[in-house]
Amino acid sequence: MRKALIVWGGWDGHEPEQCATVIRGILREDGFEVDLEPSTKVFADSSIHDLSLIVPIMTMSTIDKEEASNLASAVENGVGIAGYHGGAGDAFRDCVEYQFMIGGQWVAHPGNIIDYTVNITRPDDPLMHGITDFPYRSEQYYMHVDPSNEVLATTTFSGEHAWWIDGVVMPVVWKRHHGKGRVFYSSLGHVAREFDIPQMRTIFRRGANWAAR
Per domain, the residue ranges of the chain are 3-211
pLDDT at residue number 197: 98
Q: How far apart are CA 19 and CA 42, in angstroms?
A: 19
HSE-CB of 97 using CA atoms within 13 angstroms? 15
pLDDT at residue number 91: 98
pLDDT at residue number 96: 97
Encode pLDDT of 32-86 as tens digits.
Answer: 999 999 999 999 999 999 999 999 999 999 999 999 999 999 999 999 999 999 9
Displacement of CA 205 from its chain's centroid (Å): 11
pLDDT at residue number 138: 98
Closest CA relative to residue 165, chosen from 157, 154, 173: 157
pLDDT at residue number 34: 98
Q: How far apart are CA 128 and CA 194, in angstroms?
A: 18
Q: How far apart are CA 141 and CA 33, in angstroms?
A: 31
**Sequence-distant (≥ 6) Cβ neighbours of residue 29 within 8 angstroms:** none
Displacement of CA 19 from its chain's centroid (Å): 12
Closest CA relative to residue 138, chosen from 121, 155, 162: 155
Q: How far apart are CA 125 and CA 21, in angstroms?
A: 28
Stretches in the chain below the pLDDT threshold 70: none
Q: What CATH homologous superfamily does 3-211 map to? A: Class I glutamine amidotransferase (GATase) domain (3.40.50.880)
Q: How far apart are CA 95 and CA 100, in angstroms?
A: 9
